[in-house]
Structure 1
Amino acid sequence: MPESTVSVFRFGSFTLDLAQGTLRRGAEPVFLRPKAYTILAHLAENTGRVVPKSELMDAAWPGIFVTEDSLTQSIREIRKTLGENMIRTVSKRGYMLAVGSEELPDLSRQPIVAVLRFRNDSGNPSDDALVDGFAEDIIYGLARFGTFTVLARNSSFSFASYVYPEWQQIRARIGADYVVEGSVNRHGDRIVAAVSLADASNGTQLWGERYVTEGTGLFLAESDIIEAIVGRLVARVDNAGLQQAIRKPVTSLAAYELVLRGLALLRDPAQSDLQGAETLFLAALAKDPNYGLGLAYLALSRIVIAEFGRASPAVLAEAHDLVERAVALAPDQSPCRRVQSLVRLYMREHEAAERHLRIGLTLNPYDADSIEQMGYVLTMRGRPVDALGWLDRAIRIDPLQPHWCQYDRSLALYLIGEYRPAAEALEMATRPAPWISTRLAACYAQLGRMEDARQQLARARERDPNFFPLDYARSGIPFEHRGDAEHLTDGIMLALGST
């Protein structure tokens, strides 16, 4: 993970100053032996995540084999100095500095991912640095998501890709649940990268893919491949964690796993159990009331259940309060910023919506969901051409993008007069929502397919007799500019047979 730029840490009555190499209680200096001090410093620099035992051993005894007894003695010394509760032991995972522990989510079930050292297949030793940098960039990209722990290079690079040791050795040595391995072959501006994800408990390959890029320059080629790899890896790791969580009863799940299951229901194309998603988020918050991601996704579920732009001011106010708490608790988590942006958008605060989303993208430029949402925000701000660039990029990063990507893409296409591809995007919908039928009716009417348009409006009325297509077009979508709302209204009026 990227090294911390913070050099002074405060916890309880203690101050750890790495620049001066001191630990103080108030104004009084406190002595720790060098190895214990190094371990405390490493825990402080990684506040908020579980640090595997192997990583702490590598930090304190680099290049030297020592037993866990050495680490245990140093942890005991730190606890004796700071207090027994200052260092949290996470069973079978490692240790965590319990600074502000009342605000930390339950990380004990959060999976650990190790990116092994990639193999250089170019045959040129001078490319070793490039290949190592490629794997490091994947480490940094994955670490931005925060929904799983990513081991730092000094731990994960102790094993090389495609040099198969016993899988249990990897798991025991670096504590990884999942292992990413790969190879890079470079010839000029042509890069061939192969990458796979394996379950470290049994060596089963969960996913693998090969990427070939050429003609765009070395830096751009590498950036494109890493962006695609990170997006796909995150989806596969989350899916693997979800499959494990599904096999357990809800009562035994940690807060992280409950959120994962709730998010899967939100992302389900049919969205047939939105209330179930909300219930899971509430259960996660019952376990950990200060879980930022849980609060953010609870806010999102309230917006989705209320049908987005049709949400009442009361629902929007509640969602706003939830997501503001989420951002305060987890300011570095891009999903919190993404939901914050969406809430502001439906509150018709367009500039704030774009600003918050850009902060989220600064925190994590690899997040396909945030990239997709930027396309939606720009569509709402009257910039559909720019929006399509973002939406197409999201699909390129993750071809299994959620269904709403096509909904948003269809609206951008409609606004530039591309009615046929707009209709084709909506025809992929599997959710029986009246607003989807209404948008599709507008596309068909603009194409002169009047009978199809009328059938879609009839379906919208059947699904919700209290849904009014013209009201939806005029006020149910958070367009910034009236002209865009009028454009959609024109299509619906054609479908209704009005002039």
Structure 2
Amino acid sequence: MTASITDQVFQFGGFTLDLGKGMLSRADQPAFLRPKAYALLTHLARNVGRVVPKSELMDTVWPGVFVTEDSLTQSIREIRKVLGEDLVRTVSKRGYMLVPETEAVPEAGAQPIVAVLRFRNDGTGPADEAIVDGFAEDIINGLARFGTITVLARNSSFSFASHSPAEWPAIRSRIGADYLVEGSVRRQANGFVVAVNLVDATSATQLWGDRYQVEGAGLLAIQQDIVEEIVGRLVVRVNNAGLQHASRRPVTSLAAYELVLRGVALLRDPAQSDLKGAAAFFEAAIVKDPAYGLAYTYLALSRVLHSEFGPTCEADLEKARDLADRGIALSPDQATAHRIQSLVRLNMRDHKAAEHHLRIALELNPNDADCIEQMGHLLTMRGRPLDGLAWLARAIRINPLHPHWYQYDRALALYMLGEYLPAAEALELATRPTPWIRTRLAACYAQLGKMEAARRHAALINADGSGFSPIDYARTGVPFENPSDVEHLVSGVLLALGQRG
């Protein structure tokens, strides 16, 4: 749907609603609604894409007058008779939504799909795992900046190691990659030896390969060379400006780089059990290289994360915001820096700033699955769950072996739309149900009327003795922009607990 600058003209499904003229039309032919139905459509148009609660509609259209829901239902029926059945959506036990034209989500089209497999660590032992994985992930990030290539995300591609050519066809069938990048890193006394190959996954033939011997921080310098070689062989013409844009400010200290990688490995722990340890790595990296932007960025992230999606105090959020600002100032071309600042701002309930930074991140790295997924979650938090689901679906296509939180965010968008069963099914995928997951599951089943399942999950919320408050979580733990969305979650939790609001 589009609207004029003055928000007086709305367009949806071929119809134009001109509030200045007091007219609804289609193809310049007027369409007639009675006054109450027209007022109802006007309020839905002003909130297009948002689920508008029945109580809000009744207060708006019949202010100060007691009417039953039958009056509302009759007006909705009249609107649907004029607009058609599909433009006004009923959300179970909640309200109605004027269906928007969903935001266009960038798609891959016929672009080649590339998977960077987990590189072999040919070093002295597991101590080098973080730097080997980090090197391969930086290649993923470099390749993902190009709109001419679709690069599968780390969670999917790192499920496979660069060990056996015999496995390459199976990898293609599992994650749909057309090309594979595989290689190894070996630490030597004075540096590293890196071997990289580009493979046609269909024929299991090598298209390009090279071997690099570098000293110290030279490991970081060759990443851009590798990206350019791969892109140059998959794309007929490579935009030199784009390649230059893909390069980042060089890290002056290999030790700082390795410390950040070790901290990031702890943040990726699904239990997030050692956030203090991760923060210590990032702080040590800043000491080694005070100009290393991503060290500040990830330190900001460690300040935001708290006991698996729990609330973060305002003082910690302000510190995280300042750290994220510092990370952006030092590494303005890093999508990760803007993505994490977006997450900080979302937790601060500054939704407009959160979307601003996330769109910058997507401009810098349009094929980054985590940025795409986070956009889906952000739009859901802004009251646009249909747009959110479209972005989430795109992220899952890029990252078919995605981390658990993709489904958790998808479940929340489904819940907002009254799709309680698929929301519950997504949450049931959790291998380690936490108190907040149990809370959401209980709300889903309660909204479905499956009270036995709702009460079973509600009874397990504090089975670990954590003292978790499901009501407090529902009221303050999810950064919804619209109060009606908060109340929707609260109502499900209260119903599951057998309490009244």
Length-normalised TM-score, structure 1: 0.52
Q: How far did 1:449 drift? A: 2.6
Structure 1 counterpart of 2:302, one-letter code: S
Change (3 A) 1:314 1:137: closer
- Secondary structure, in 3 states, of the residue corresponding to 1:310? coil
- Structure 1 contact 269–430 (Cα < 8 Å) conserved: no
Q: How far did 1:436 drift? A: 1.6
Matched, 1:401 2:402: yes
Match of 1:179 in 2: 196
Match of 2:447 in 1: 446
Change (3 A) 1:482 1:193: farther
In the alignment, the residues of structure 2 paired with residue 478 and residue 439 of structure 1 have an alpha-carbon distance, to the nearest angstrom, of 14
Structure 2 counterpart of 1:412, one-letter code: A
- Structure 1 contact 258–280 (Cα < 8 Å) conserved: yes
Change (3 A) 1:194 1:451: farther
Change (3 A) 1:194 1:366: farther
Structure 2 counterpart of 1:366, one-letter code: N
Match of 1:12 in 2: none
- Secondary structure, in 3 states, of the residue corresponding to 1:401? coil
In the alignment, the residues of structure 2 paired with residue 114 and residue 470 of structure 1 have an alpha-carbon distance, to the nearest angstrom, of 41
Q: How far did 1:491 drift? A: 0.8
Match of 1:392 in 2: 393
Match of 2:265 in 1: 264
Match of 1:32 in 2: none
Match of 1:462 in 2: 463
Match of 2:416 in 1: 415
- Secondary structure, in 3 states, of the residue corresponding to 1:268? coil
Change (3 A) 1:403 1:108: closer
- Structure 1 contact 432–463 (Cα < 8 Å) conserved: no
Matches for 1:124-203 after TM superposition, within 5 Å: 177-183=194-200, 200=211
Match of 1:25 in 2: none
What is the Cα-based RMSD across aligned positions, in Å?
A: 4.1
In the alignment, the residues of structure 2 paired with residue 484 and residue 296 of structure 1 have an alpha-carbon distance, to the nearest angstrom, of 30
- Secondary structure, in 3 states, of the residue corresponding to 2:436? helix
In the alignment, the residues of structure 1 paired with residue 304 and residue 138 of structure 2 have an alpha-carbon distance, to the nearest angstrom, of 36
Structure 2 counterpart of 1:275, one-letter code: K
Match of 1:320 in 2: 321
Aligned length: 296
- Structure 2 contact 144–150 (Cα < 8 Å) conserved: no
Change (3 A) 1:455 1:135: closer
- Secondary structure, in 3 states, of the residue corresponding to 1:181? strand
In the alignment, the residues of structure 2 paired with residue 113 and residue 299 of structure 1 have an alpha-carbon distance, to the nearest angstrom, of 20
- Secondary structure, in 3 states, of the residue corresponding to 1:428? coil
CA deviation map 1:243-275 (0-9, x unaligned): xxxxxxxxx972222222322222233333333
Q: How far did 1:180 drift? A: 4.4
Q: How far did 1:429 drift? A: 2.0
- Structure 1 contact 109–257 (Cα < 8 Å) conserved: no
CA deviation map 1:389-422 (0-9, x unaligned): 1111111101222221111111011111111111
Q: How far did 1:424 drift? A: 1.6
In the alignment, the residues of structure 1 paired with residue 138 and residue 452 of structure 2 have an alpha-carbon distance, to the nearest angstrom, of 56
- Secondary structure, in 3 states, of the residue corresponding to 2:462? helix
In the alignment, the residues of structure 1 paired with residue 145 and residue 308 of structure 2 have an alpha-carbon distance, to the nearest angstrom, of 41
Match of 1:370 in 2: 371
Q: How far did 1:442 drift? A: 0.7
Change (3 A) 1:414 1:114: closer
Change (3 A) 1:180 1:289: same
Q: How far did 1:177 drift? A: 2.6
Match of 1:305 in 2: 306
In the alignment, the residues of structure 1 paired with residue 334 and residue 323 of structure 2 have an alpha-carbon distance, to the nearest angstrom, of 15
Structure with larger RCO (C-alpha < 8 A, sep 6+): 2
- Structure 2 contact 272–307 (Cα < 8 Å) conserved: no
In the alignment, the residues of structure 2 paired with residue 110 and residue 421 of structure 1 have an alpha-carbon distance, to the nearest angstrom, of 36
Match of 1:214 in 2: none
- Structure 1 contact 445–495 (Cα < 8 Å) conserved: yes
Match of 1:498 in 2: 499
Unaligned runs of 5+ in 1: 1-106, 116-133, 146-161, 169-174, 186-191, 203-221, 224-251
In the alignment, the residues of structure 2 paired with residue 405 and residue 342 of structure 1 have an alpha-carbon distance, to the nearest angstrom, of 15
